[in-house]
Chain A
Amino acid sequence: MNVLLQLWRFWSTHQGELFAMLTRHVWLVLVATSLATAIGVPLGVLAAKRPRLGKSIVGLTNLVQTIPSLALFGFLLPLPFIGGVGARTALVALVLYGILPILQTTAAGIGSVDRSLVRAATAMGLTARQRLLLIEIPLALPSMLAGIRVSTVVSVGTATIAAAIGAGGLGEYIFRGLAMVDATVILAGAIPSAALALLADALLAWIGRRASDRHRRWFPSRRRAAVGAALVATLMLIVAAVVVYTQRGSSSTITIGSKNFTEQILLGELLAQTIERGTSLHVERKLNLGGTLICERALASGDIDAYVEYSGTALTAIFKEPVIRDRRAVLELIRQRYADSGRTLLEPLGFNNTFAILVRGDVARSLGLRTISDAVPHARGWRAGFGYEFLEREDGYKGLARAYGLTFREPPHVMDLSLSYRALAGQQVDLIAGDATAGAIAALDLHMLEDDKAFFPPYDAVPVIRSATLLAHPELRGALHGLAGRLDEATMRTLNEAVDIKRRDAAQVVREFLERR
């Protein structure tokens, strides 16, 4: 009941966004299924008419079907013309998935038309084309519609994953919810998409029943065929226009990206709104992209113009350099590397999203703990809870214990990172390693111990922008410069808390932050 209430509240506070995502989702599925039909039906006819060729066509589409959808999106990203971040890539993947069921049922439907009817049509003097259009396709129609139905329903599901590459749709809530470990937000996207799948299924089942009802006219009269052809042509034209439009991209539009967790979405909004306020440029948001490497590729290919990266992540994950602990040195090295590949590193925003060694606020106050070194003598009587990644990483627990001579009452408990905040507050453990900017730190009255031996590599948040974009729009530098050093850990934590804990809209939170200044 509680969940339903939260869900309802979430939907009502995000009405506009929900509607936009739903529309986007339906649009993706509609266009993808239309294209898959336009390709799958002729291929299916071909497969039925030329069985040997048909076998290889079906084999090939089967192969495509076995590629996990996330992997397929990944393959498509770096490709020219069809790849890149956004709806285009998503449509290509959705169409590839959608073709197979339509192709198979079309081939099966045509293949199962009674041979004696085909013989009769031939003997009457129908040409091969007339046989196909007047006899075989109308008789195979119910079976073709069944394939289109399967394809549509699959498409509704796969389209949720398309959010990972910035295509939008209801998947955005699912990814956002996963990133925030918030079931309500996941459900906010999952429930409408499931409902959409059921609705599409029911609608197409109804159409299918009408089509197989012999008392209805599905016989394509010439007028109806003309209307159908015109509709298909219009649809293709719209699709072509959209593809051309997305490819061209307006030159005075700046596209801002972000990774798929709350802080990144806030930072994406921050860049976007700052540009909107400080310049006359139009900003397009491609927030919530899958992860570091997707953002990096998108930036390299020009699908996005800017996003916020963390210095340590750029160093190790993007440029594959060994860990460096000095903040300045890290920034200088990645600034150079970015410059070499046509990107410009701007000034750090001011906070370091590093690992945070946390204890309860009341404990810190009563024992007067400020740094990790302060806590070492007390830790012998404590229990610790760490995420799996922190336990395994060399720059995690092992190195930390060595650097500070840290030992606990018992071996650390492995727990989910997001759950460890509550475990600490609930006194199940006494020390955890979290994110320095987690909203939970303030909300649950946790205290972050200072890394006085500078053990953790720095993760300074820094905007990265394509150098070409900066050259074309020099006013961007001035506008974004205003952000340098303006966000410290505490401020970022408050913003995260507003979205993660208080469930406020990210764009609104950023707007208020910018207005306060």
Chain B
Amino acid sequence: MSDAIVFDHVSFAYADGRVIVDDLDLAIPAGEPFALVGRSGAGKSTLLRLVNRLALPASGRVLVDGRDTREWEPIALRRRIGFVQQDVGLFPHMTVAENIGLLARIEHWPADRIRRRTDELLTLVGLSADLRDRWPDELSGGQQQRVGVARALMLDPPVLLMDEPFGALDPLTRLALRREFRHLQSTLRKTVIIVTHDMLEAFELGDRIGAIDEGRLVAVGGRRDFEASTHPFVRALMATLEPLRS
């Protein structure tokens, strides 16, 4: 299988000179869920922004489906990439169905097709179709994030970027949503990059995990690779998984 997303010697710095991503190489094959872990401010979110061209690399290139993001028309690129963010960002003046169907409407889908797809997605993310005419602020946090996932999937994009999608939820909801998403991914087989602080979440959702520290990718691999690693940052991350001792 070809690589859906490739970071090729990518560096990115802010205008004030702060280096956020430093000479990073990474290839993610199509259909793979990949988890990015690291401290806040390590550059994880910036990597996502480089994929959907909300940012362009200072040097190196980012390839999506083999094409440099510089060559992609940004709107076309972003519509192929579903995006789920921690604060969800549901539009408060649109109902659940309008939020989910927004992109399809912009793409001039016929109304009945939008309706069918919306209902299908509501079921897929574990919500009742009765919720379609509700307003975002009438939903619980978990329901809102499910709607956010459904909205990202509307145009059936091959790539899904998730920036700490479950970070703002309570632990129980979070666990449930994680399980459901794992199940969803096993049927959808999207190329997914999911950013998280939580190692447990990373292992559960990612086939592989990338550990980012100060803009560098210090380790890439599966759970076994991480358990075997001697890299001090990876050891520190793994230490967060140790069970509580009384």
Contact = CB atoms under 8 A, between A and B. Distances in A.
User: Are A and B co-members of a single complex?
Assistant: yes
Nearest to B86: A116
Interface stretch (A119-127, A352-360, A363-371): A119-127
Nearest to A127: B75
Contacts of A117: 89, 91-92
B78 A125 contact: yes
B215 to A, nearest CB: 22
A215 B135 contact: yes
Band of interface residues on B: 20 to 34
A117 to B, nearest CB: 5
A96 interface: no
Contacts of A125: 74-79, 81, 103
A214 interface: yes
Interface string A117-140: 101111111110010001100110
Interface in B42-57: 52, 54
B52 A139 contact: no
Given A123-B52, A124-B102, A124-B103, A218 B78 contact: no
Contacts of A127: 75
B92 A122 contact: no
Interface in B40-98: 52, 54, 74-79, 81, 83, 85, 87-89, 91-94, 98
Contacts, number: 57
Contacts of B1: none
Contacts of B92: 117, 139, 214
A505 to B, nearest CB: 54
Contacts of B151: 124
B93 A138 contact: yes
Interface in A96-117: 116-117
Contact of B94 (A116, A130, A219): A219
Contact of B85 (A119, A130, A214, A215): A119
Interface in B123-151: 135, 137, 151
B172 interface: no
A122 B83 CA distance: 10
Nearest to A218: B93
A467 to B, nearest CB: 64
B106 interface: yes
A116 B102 contact: no
Contacts of B52: 123
Interface string B18-45: 0000000000000000000000000000
Given A116-B89, A127-B75, A219-B98, A122 B103 contact: no
Contacts of B135: 214-215
Contact of A135 (B74, B75, B79, B91): B91
A122 B98 contact: no
A217 to B, nearest CB: 9
A197 to B, nearest CB: 30
A122 B54 contact: yes
A123 B89 CA distance: 11
Contacts of B87: 116
B144 to A, nearest CB: 12
A370 to B, nearest CB: 84
A385 to B, nearest CB: 68
Interface string A133-168: 011001100000000000000000000000000000
A120 B137 CA distance: 17
A159 B94 CA distance: 39
A134 B102 contact: yes
Contact of A120 (B77, B81, B89, B106): B89
Given A120-B88, A124-B103, A219-B94, 6 more contacts: A120-B83, A123-B85, A125-B77, A126-B106, A134-B106, A139-B91
Interface of A: 116-117, 119-127, 130, 134-135, 138-139, 214-215, 218-219
19 contacts: A116-B87, A117-B92, A120-B91, A121-B89, A121-B91, A122-B54, A122-B78, A123-B52, A123-B54, A123-B78, A125-B74, A125-B77, A125-B79, A125-B81, A130-B106, A134-B102, A135-B91, A139-B92, A214-B93
The 5 closest A-B pairs by CB, nearest first: A120-B89, A125-B78, A125-B79, A123-B83, A116-B87
